[in-house]
Structure 1
Amino acid sequence: MAAAALAVATTAAFVAPQAFAGQAPTTAAQVRASAFAKGPDPTEQTIKAQRGPFQIKQLSVAAQSGRGFNRGTIYYPTDTGQGTYGAIAVIPGFLEPEFITSWYGPTLASYGFVVMTLEPFAITDFPDPRSNQLLAAVDWLAADSPVKAQVDPNRLAVMGHSMGGGGALLAASKRPSLKAAVPLAPWNLYADFAGVTVPTLVIGADNDFIAPVGMHADPMYASIKASPNEGYLKLKNADHFTVNSYSATLTKFTVSWMKRYVDEDTRYTQFLCPAPQPDPSFASFQMTCPS
């Protein structure tokens, strides 16, 4: 994990990084990947694809009492020759069943992660119980699941939409050892997460009327941006549910974030920092660059 970070803030009107000091951008092949790195060198095109280089399988997980989460689906790479994988739990939002955010399961797994998409105990659960379910799910994946042999218990991450996004931030505040958190259009009445040190990428939507960014994503990111390795992607012309469907932008940034922080794979830093070139799909992008 990087010990220091250089703060960078940009909007859609910034100058392209190639313009600085006449330097060409660093390529993936020029950057040393970590011992956890898996898969071929990424390109701008490959990280936008809905499926990555790994073949995957899936398992249904039935409800069971005393486990700390309800039921769900595990997606995992079939390749057992590359060591263990980082694990990610994903939970949907208020009134949403599992399938609403299930596209993240096969997509992230195909890039080299074990992923579990969750059905919450109740679709009316607020962020705090969702945070507990996320933590229980990643712990179970690493210790007791049918694919536990493929999971590195020291490389766990969480994601969630809406109240699930608020839950992901709460999980990060409760468990500093998590490697990454990605709140998607997050909703939480409590928006001060100054104590979060887990690398967190907040993804908001400029036309979100259910969790308006001015009340939720904006202050959430503002509260954590002094910490190293935090980012905020604000989608343009997007609503609360935009993140619930595949897009090249969402795949690029969620995959790059998880690869960079769960796998410590520095080949993906190039897609996060310096700031990406202007993209009509996002209104602004801010982050502290990993060093």
Structure 2
Amino acid sequence: MRIRRLLTGAVAATVTALATVVAGTSPASADESWWRGPAPTQASISAATGPFASTSTTVSDFSTPGFGAATIYYPTTTTQGTFGGVAISPGYTAGRETVAWLGPRLASQGFVVIVFDTNSRYDQPSARGDQLLAALDYLTRSSSVRARVDANRLAVVGHSMGGGGTLEAAKDRPTLRAAVPLTGWNTDKTWPEVRTPTLVIGAENDSVASVSSHSIPFYNSLTNAPERAYLELNGASHFAPNSPNTVIAANTIAWLKRFVDTDTRYSQFICPGPSVSAFGDVSDYRNTCPV
């Protein structure tokens, strides 16, 4: 297993403090009032359904400013306070149905999730980044579930060019709490501007956005992100995120819980992280480990 602890001692404290000033968030600061749900286990983050009952509502293209039609998934309870919000973008030429499986899965773990169609299926990563932010703005300001969402605890997830869009969104809005590009694609390979905790998920056999030219350079360049991790799906293709995938779901849940909800109970799944073996689900894992 290759795990890289890039920040140590006084240097780590200094860099983390600077990241806090710039991004307005500290991944090390746990606010238990934001924690939602029981203490996690590997089984609970891997389960198809989490501890919260959830439902969904659709939004027509005529009602969404800056992006296409959408589906919003959210917990039905109103007794635990507000939840973190997550926007999810599909990839090039794809509709929201290709990543819709993540919506109810994340909602059942305690998030309000908007999965949307892009304005054009041919939109490039920069446009998808803008639409991810527009979707979050709609979710928190205008949607029928806006009262359930904490506008200060938001994250972005995306597949392929949508994954490239997550990096664009994080660069443009450093107050985002987390970003998760899934087999991301972008012509820009370096992201020192990103100051958001970022989990990069690549696929070992990706022939569209090979990890050597996309996910790994993305991860290596995230030198100013307060935390970062790279997870590589063993033997998987570019389209692994387009169907239910336990490894993607479990690690995305752990990342969002740790950084959107500042829930340190989930640090155990990030550091040291999933095991790497020739016969396992993960072929490579690298991280800086939560401070």
User: TM-score with structure 2 length normalisation?
Assistant: 0.87
Rounded to whole Å, the distance in 2 between the matches of 1:227 and 1:95 is 30
Unaligned regions of 5+ residues in structure 2, if any?
8-29
Contact 1:33 1:267 in 2 (8 A): no
| Correspondence list, 1:38-117, <5 A | 38-64=36-62, 67-117=65-115
* Cα distance in 1, alignment partners of residues 193 and 224 from structure 2: 10
Name segments (4+ residues, structure 1) moved above 4 Å.
none
User: Which structure 1 residue ranges, 5 or more long, are not aligned?
Assistant: 9-31
Residues 45, 33 of structure 1: alpha-carbon distance in 2 compared, 3 angstrom cutoff: farther
Which one is further off, 42-51 or 253-262? Answer: 42-51
Whole-angstrom CA distance in 1 between matches of 2:273 and 2:118? 35
Q: 1:186 aligns with which of 172, 184, 187?
A: 184
Q: Per the alignment, in what secondary structure is the counterpart of residue 211 of structure 2?
A: coil
Structure 2 counterpart SS, 1:156: strand
What is the rounded CA distance, in whole Å, between the counterparts of 2:65 and 2:45 in structure 1? 34
Taking the aligned partners of 1:283 and 1:271, their CA distance within structure 2 comes to 16
Query: Deviation at 1:162?
Result: 0.3
Q: Between Structure 1 and Structure 2, which shows a larger proportion of strand residues?
A: 1
Give me the whole-angstrom Cα distance separating, in 2, the residues matched to 1:275 and 1:139. 32
- Secondary structure (helix, strand or coil) at the match of 1:7 reads coil
Q: Is the Cα–Cα contact under 8 Å of residues 179 and 262 in structure 1 kept in the other structure? A: yes
2:174 and 2:195 in contact (8 A); partners too: yes
Describe the SS at the equivalent of 1:45: helix
Q: What's the TM-score, normalizing by structure 1?
A: 0.87
Question: What is the DSSP-based 3-state SS (H/G/I as helix, E as strand, rest coil) of the residue aligned with 2:32?
Answer: coil
Give 2:283's aligned residue: 283
Calculate the aligned-residue CA RMSD, in Å: 1.6
Tell me if structure 2 keeps the 8 A contact 1:33–1:266.
no
| Pairwise CA distance, 1:66 | 7.2
Structure 2 partner of 1:211: 209
Q: Deviations over 1:135-183 (max 9, x none)?
A: 0001111111100000000001101000000001100000000000000
Aligned to 1:148: 146
Look up the match of 2:6: 7
Report the CA distance between 1:65 and its aligned residue. 6.5
Deviations 1:102-128 (A, max 9, x none): 011000000000001011111111101
Paired residue type of 2:174: P
Q: Counterpart of 1:290 in 2: which secondary structure?
A: coil
Q: CA deviation at 1:225?
A: 4.2
Task: Tell me the alpha carbon deviations over residues 55-108 of structure 1, each in whole angstroms, 9 at most, x when there is no partner.
Answer: 001000111267111111000000100000000000100110110010110000
- Distance in 1 (alpha carbons) for counterparts of 2:176 and 2:211: 25
Alpha carbons of 1:266 and 1:33: their partners in 2 closer, same or farther (altered >3 Å)?
A: farther
Structure in which a larger fraction of residues adopt helix? 2
